[in-house]
């Protein structure tokens, strides 16, 4: 896959270049340090739920390799690192007593990052709900949102103003619909009504957490949420196809954007989902809490989708980040008459189509709708079949081309007036790709899972060059490879 966009586009002087990971995907040490079980421990240890039965028990062993991993980031020249806190590591049952050893782990990590000149961007929830809370109803019940608020407060007290940017939730779309509707993610429930209740309780959890963080750290405390907004296009201009696109936009994007940024649920959602739920879980005053103003909006972007009116095939989970293993149950609650069409290539090893223009379109739409809200691309990247050479080096030209074109797309959006403050490559290192286990590699650093050894890929050297020059390097800019 060759690059399709020009080299050399320059970025604003204070633009933040980072990389992203998530606790369950890299830490391992699942039963160490006083950590309690999460829904992903339970799910991944259940036969048939993940490819090859992979679990995050060891993952990239980051828990035991923090100094080495921070040194790696320093060698890359990163300005920021987006990590997530494992809720059950710091509060084993999700309520009540906190685990000092878990809190100390993140406090130490944050100190080390700052000492290395790297700004910590901290996500409070990247999908690893304490199992005890799931046993009490998980995101389908309101109490989970309230527990999340108290957990956020404690983290704010412990990490305080050392955190450059707080992110309450990562991709609540996945937590709600993949967790409770299609069931391809933990906790593996397949119930549309449960998924919509989860949508609301995740929104409420977000709002409560923003308020708790600001209560502890002051009204200026920098807080965000990260959404995986879906860029979906209608196959034709036929009203039925346009309606299919609208329906998907509503259920995928608007049920998060509108409550969080405008204080209301989208108008058509009640009618679209009337056969599933009456939304009586929304209580008076909730939307006020949910729309507490944000400092920035995090955007994760990988690919695009295309729909038309029709009957979906059984197991049609849709494209892109949503396809995360197909299921007999659709994640698209209330969209029984929407058909997803295959997207033209090229595709990544996830089967996701590569379309950098989708990122430009998304950022510009957000600029138009919320002009005062700064944006940050909190994830973007690609899995490819990496083949190490005899020296263990990975010449991942396809990943470089993908990053090259998407970074240029961000630059194009900035030049067109989008206020984008940073970009975080997914991911710093190969890791546990949820239901796909270790079969999909997204890292710019290779991880040998047998030994834990880290080897920067060519894309890491390319990314370091991007950070160093603050302009898009040519795809072949980087020899020799980065060494740590
Ligand atoms: C996103 C997730 C992230 C990773 C990438 C590939 O949906 O936030 O953890 O799995 O997809």
Confidence (pLDDT) at 484: 75
**Is residue 325 pLDDT above 60, yes or no?**
no
Using most ligand atoms within 8 A of CB, pick from 300, 325, 431, 440 the residue to mutate for ligand 1.
300
Q: Has residue 351 got a pLDDT over 80? A: yes
Q: Is 223 left (phi over 0), alpha (psi -120 to 50) or beta?
A: beta
How many whole angstroms separate alpha carbon 67 and alpha carbon 283?
A: 46
Give the largest CA-CA distance in the chain: 63
Query: CA 31 to CA 19: how far, in whole Å?
Result: 26
Banded model confidence at residue 353, pLDDT cuts 50, 70, 90: very high
Domains of the chain with bracketed CATH: 16-371 (3.20.20.80)
Distance 375 CA to ligand 1 centre (A): 18
* Pick from 285, 227, 275, 234: nearest CA to 255: 227
Angle, CA of 260, 184 and 302, to the nearest 5°: 55
Distance 242 CA to ligand 1 centre (A): 28
pLDDT exceeds 90 at position 232 = yes
The mean-pLDDT minimum among 56-65, 369-378, 475-484 falls in 475-484
Q: Is the pLDDT of residue 155 over 80?
A: yes
> Which residue blocks in 218-355 are alpha helix, DSSP H?
239-249, 255-262, 269-272, 286-290, 320-323
- In this structure, are residues 106 and 98 in contact, taking their beta carbons and an 8 Å threshold? no
Q: Whose CA is nearest to atom 9 of ligand 1?
A: 22
Q: Is the pLDDT of residue 190 over 60?
A: yes
Average pLDDT over residues 125-134: 99
Please state the length of the chain: 484
Residue 328's pLDDT band (boundaries 50, 70, 90)? Answer: confident
Answer yes or no: are the C-beta atoms of 337 and 305 closer than 8 Å.
no
* pLDDT in the model for residue 1: 81
Q: Which two tokens stand for residue 424?
A: 């975080």
Tell me the CA–centroid distance for residue 56 and ligand 1, in Å. 14
| CA 270 vs CA 7, 248, 282, 414: distances in Å | 47, 14, 12, 36
pLDDT of res. 483: 78
Residue 422 has a pLDDT of 99
- Give the separation between CA 104 and CA 117, rounded to whole angstroms: 20
Q: Determine the Cα–Cα distance for residues 99 and 409; give it in Å rounded to an integer.
A: 43
**CB neighbour list of residue 391: distance below 8 Å, 6 or more residues apart:** none
Please provide the average confidence, as pLDDT, over all residues in the chain: 96
Burial zone of 270 (CB within 10 Å; 0-12 exposed, 13-18 middle, 19+ buried): middle
Q: With bands split at pLDDT 50, 70 and 90, how would you rate the model's confidence at 326?
A: low
Query: Which residues, in sequence order, are CB contacts of 420 under 8 Å at separation 6+?
Result: 15, 363, 374, 375, 376, 377, 410, 413, 414
User: What is this structure's pTM?
Assistant: 0.97
Helix (H, G, I), strand (E, B) or coil at 197: helix
Using 50, 70 and 90 to split pLDDT, how confident is the model at 315? low
Q: Are 423 and 377 in contact (CB under 8 A)?
A: yes
Measured from CB, residues less than 6 Å from any atom of ligand 1 are 22, 25, 170-171, 174, 228, 300, 321, 379, 426, 433-434, 442
- Distance (Å, rounded) from C-alpha 318 to C-alpha 191? 17
* Residue 416: how many other CB atoms lie within 10 Å: 11
pLDDT at position 442: 98
171 is catalytic: yes
Spot the catalytic one: 379, 398, 412, 433: 379
Q: Provide the pLDDT for residue 368.
A: 98
| Res. 318: pLDDT tops 60 | no
Residue 32 reports pLDDT greater than 60: yes
What is the reported pLDDT for 314? 55
Q: Which of 139, 58, 49 is nearest to 94 (CA)?
A: 139
The answer to which of 294-298, 330-334, 449-453, 476-480 has the lowest mean pLDDT is 476-480
The model's confidence at residue 316, banded by pLDDT at 50, 70 and 90, is low
Query: Which pLDDT value is given to residue 99?
Result: 99
- Is residue 105 helix, strand or coil? helix
Residue nearest to atom 11 of ligand 1 (CA): 321
Whether the Cβ atoms of residue 435 and residue 185 lie closer than 8 Å to each other: yes
Confidence of residue 58 (pLDDT cuts 50, 70, 90): very high
Ligand 1 geometric centre to CA of 39 (Å): 17
Q: Give the alpha-carbon dihedral of 154, 160, 162, 163, to 10 degrees.
A: 60
């Amino acid at each position: 896959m060759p690059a399709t966009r020009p080299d050399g586009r320059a970025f604003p002087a204070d633009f933040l270049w980072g990389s992203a990971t998530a606790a369950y995907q890299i830490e391992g040490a699942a039963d160490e340090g006083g950590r309690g079980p999460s829904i992903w421990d339970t799910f991944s240890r259940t036969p048939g739920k993940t490819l090859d039965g992979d679990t995050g028990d060891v993952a990239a062993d980051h828990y035991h390799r923090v100094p080495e991993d921070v040194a790696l980031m320093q060698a890359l020249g990163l300005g920021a690192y987006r990590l997530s806190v494992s809720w059950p590591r710091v509060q084993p049952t999700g309520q009540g007593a906190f685990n000092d050893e878990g809190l100390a782990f993140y406090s130490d990590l944050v100190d080390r990052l700052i000492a290395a000149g790297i700004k910590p961007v901290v996500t409070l929830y990247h999908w690893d709900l304490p199992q005890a809370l799931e046993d009490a109803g998980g995101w389908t019940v309101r109490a989970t949102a309230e527990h999340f608020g108290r957990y956020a407060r404690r983290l704010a007290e412990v990490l305080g103003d050392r955190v450059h940017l707080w992110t309450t939730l990562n991709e609540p779309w996945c937590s709600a619909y993949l967790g409770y509707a299609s069931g391809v993610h933990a906790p593996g429930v397949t119930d549309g009504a449960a998924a919509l209740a989860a949508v609301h309780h995740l929104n409420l959890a977000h709002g409560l957490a923003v308020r708790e963080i600001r209560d502890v750290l002051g009204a200026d405390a920098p807080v965000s949420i990260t959404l995986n907004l879906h860029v979906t296009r209608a196959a034709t201009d036929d009203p039925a196809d346009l309606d299919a696109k609208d329906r998907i936009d509503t259920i995928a994007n608007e049920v998060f954007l509108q409550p969080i940024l405008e204080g209301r649920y989208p108008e058509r959602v009640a009618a679209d989902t009337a056969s599933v739920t009456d939304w009586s879980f929304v209580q008076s005053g909730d939307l006020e809490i949910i729309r507490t103003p944000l400092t920035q909006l995090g955007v994760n972007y990988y690919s695009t989708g295309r729909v038309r009116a029709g009957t979906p095939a059984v197991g049609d989970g849709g494209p892109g980040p949503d396809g995360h293993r197909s299921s007999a149950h659709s994640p698209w609650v209330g969209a029984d008459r929407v058909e997803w069409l295959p997207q033209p290539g090229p595709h990544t090893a996830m089967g996701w189509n590569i379309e950098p223009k989708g990122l430009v379109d998304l950022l510009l739409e957000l600029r138009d709708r919320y002009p005062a809200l700064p944006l940050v691309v909190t994830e973007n990247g690609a899995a490819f079949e990496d083949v190490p050479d005899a020296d263990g080096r990975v010449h991942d030209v396809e990943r470089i081309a993908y990053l090259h074109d998407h970074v240029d797309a961000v630059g194009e959006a900035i030049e067109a007036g989008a206020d984008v403050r940073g970009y975080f490559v997914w991911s710093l290192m190969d890791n546990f790709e949820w239901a796909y286990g270790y079969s999909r590699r997204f890292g710019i650093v290779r991880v040998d899972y047998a030994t834990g050894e880290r080897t920067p890929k060519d894309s890491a050297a390319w990314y370091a060059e991007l950070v160093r020059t603050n302009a898009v390097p040519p795809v072949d800019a980087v020899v020799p490879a980065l060494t740590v």
